[in-house]
Amino acid sequence: MIDKTAREAQAIVDARKDFAEALSDLGLMAPFFDRTAAEIDQLIEAAVTGYIDSMQTQDNGPERDGRIPENQIPF
């Protein structure tokens, strides 16, 4: 958990709609339907934090084609 600024906190709240749309598109809304806003925000924050941390630690090597090798998905 990070100490969020007001803008960061609002961005997480604003991302709920996109998160819900993605869950619906993937047929995954049911398991998340009864989750609290705080739990949804925790998932969004984890994804954003992981993304930002990765972007900050990657070297300036050549860009990849955007595909993620299946063996790199940690679940």
Question: What percent of the chain lies above the pLDDT cut of 70?
Answer: 75
Which spans in 1-75 are helix H? 6-25, 29-32, 37-57
- pLDDT level of residue 18 (50, 70, 90 thresholds): very high
Give the integer Cα–Cα distance in Å for 1 and 37.
15
Task: Report if residue 31 sits inside a domain.
Answer: yes
Give the integer Cα–Cα distance in Å for 75 and 67.
17
For residue 32, the enclosing domain spans 6-56
Task: Report if residue 39 sits inside a domain.
Answer: yes
Task: Report if residue 72 sits inside a domain.
Answer: no
Task: Report if residue 17 sits inside a domain.
Answer: yes
Mean pLDDT of 34-44: 96
Task: Report if residue 1 sits inside a domain.
Answer: no
Top pLDDT among 73 and 5 is at: 5
Mutual angle of helices 6-25 and 37-57, in 10-degree steps: 100
pTM reported for the whole predicted model: 0.74
Give the integer Cα–Cα distance in Å for 45 and 43.
5
Task: Report if residue 14 sits inside a domain.
Answer: yes
Q: How many domains does the chain have?
A: 1
